[in-house]
A = this chain, B = another copy of it.
Amino acid sequence: MNAIPSNYSNQIPFHIAIDFVIFGYDEEELKLLAAKRQSTDDHQQWSLIRGFLFKNEHLEQAAARIFKEIMGHSSAHLEQLHTYSNPDYESGTYIISVVYYAIIRLSDQNKKLPKDLDAKWFNLKEIQELIFDPENIIDKAIQDLQEHAKTIPIGITLLPDKFTLTQLQAMYEAILQKKLDRGNFRKNILSVELLEKLDEKDKTGSRKGAWYYSFNENKFNNLIDNGVLIKISL
């Protein structure tokens, strides 16, 4: 049982696809990147971004390569979500799809996608009606992202270096897809003691202004090195 069956490789041509659920946060809502892909019955449909694994690379290397080809940079953390099998008995192909997800800060700059890629950013409601996703991969990625978002600092990278608690709350609301109570949010987020109040206010929203905060990355890394997992009640 443990050895590769002797005629195994001739018999079964597997293709290893890497599919991406790429979320973008534009300081208002979560968006998702989808691309037009030829379906088996020769229609075009909106699908997850897809690339293929090459023999000279590991899965993580292929994921990073393809992500960079799409986005033009490689600064996001890619998280492996799940692996699906898609045999297509008619055409005789069998695709193994390893799904990764990432969340990036959607500034004007990375809204520009390679021109040869027929891809677009959708909001979540829109895309769930349009996309071909029989396995509910997007839902699963959102759930996983929401679970991870409660662990600082996954979301912090989506904000500028200095931010107000209102901006922080808006980000969590976009990821968790629900409104949070302002008082409880502030109490909970400050209780993990990883935010530093700066000596500066954002005065664009009101005359009184709102204090800017920054994330204390050193303190966070120290906690991680000591095996401490920080989880926010949200």
Partner of A52, one of B4, B59, B87: B4
Specify which of A3, A57, A87 lies most central, judged by the most chain B CB atoms within 10 Å of its CB: A87
* Residue positions of A touching B, CB distance < 8 A: 1-5, 8-9, 11-16, 35-38, 47, 49-60, 66, 69-70, 80, 82-85, 87, 93-96, 98, 116-117
> Is the pair B83, A83 in contact by a Cβ cutoff of 8 Å?
yes
Specify which of A8, A38, A60 lies most central, judged by the most chain B CB atoms within 10 Å of its CB: A8
Partner of A14, one of B16, B47, B69, B83: B16
Instruction: Give the shortest distance, in Å, between A53 (CB) and chain B (any CB).
Output: 7
Specify which of A5, A12, A49, A93 lies most central, judged by the most chain B CB atoms within 10 Å of its CB: A12
Instruction: Give the shortest distance, in Å, between A144 (CB) and chain B (any CB).
Output: 12
Q: Enumerate chain B residues within 8 angstroms of A59, measured Cβ to Cβ.
A: 83-85, 96
A53 to B8, CA, bound (A): 10
Instruction: Give the shortest distance, in Å, between A9 (CB) and chain B (any CB).
Output: 4
> Is the pair B2, A37 in contact by a Cβ cutoff of 8 Å?
yes
> Is the pair B83, A98 in contact by a Cβ cutoff of 8 Å?
yes
Q: Enumerate chain B residues within 8 angstroms of A49, measured Cβ to Cβ.
A: 1-2
Q: Enumerate chain B residues within 8 angstroms of A38, measured Cβ to Cβ.
A: 2-3
Q: Enumerate chain B residues within 8 angstroms of A80, measured Cβ to Cβ.
A: 82-83
Residue of B nearest to A83 (CB): B83
Partner of A93, one of B9, B16, B56, B83: B9
Q: Enumerate chain B residues within 8 angstroms of A9, measured Cβ to Cβ.
A: 13, 15, 93
Q: Enumerate chain B residues within 8 angstroms of A117, measured Cβ to Cβ.
A: 1
Instruction: Give the shortest distance, in Å, between A211 (CB) and chain B (any CB).
Output: 34
Closest 9 pairs between A and B when the two form their complex, measured CB to CB: A9-B13, A59-B85, A2-B37, A83-B83, A14-B14, A12-B55, A58-B85, A2-B50, A83-B98
Specify which of A2, A8, A53, A84 lies most central, judged by the most chain B CB atoms within 10 Å of its CB: A2
Q: Enumerate chain B residues within 8 angstroms of A98, measured Cβ to Cβ.
A: 83, 96
Q: Enumerate chain B residues within 8 angstroms of A69, measured Cβ to Cβ.
A: 1
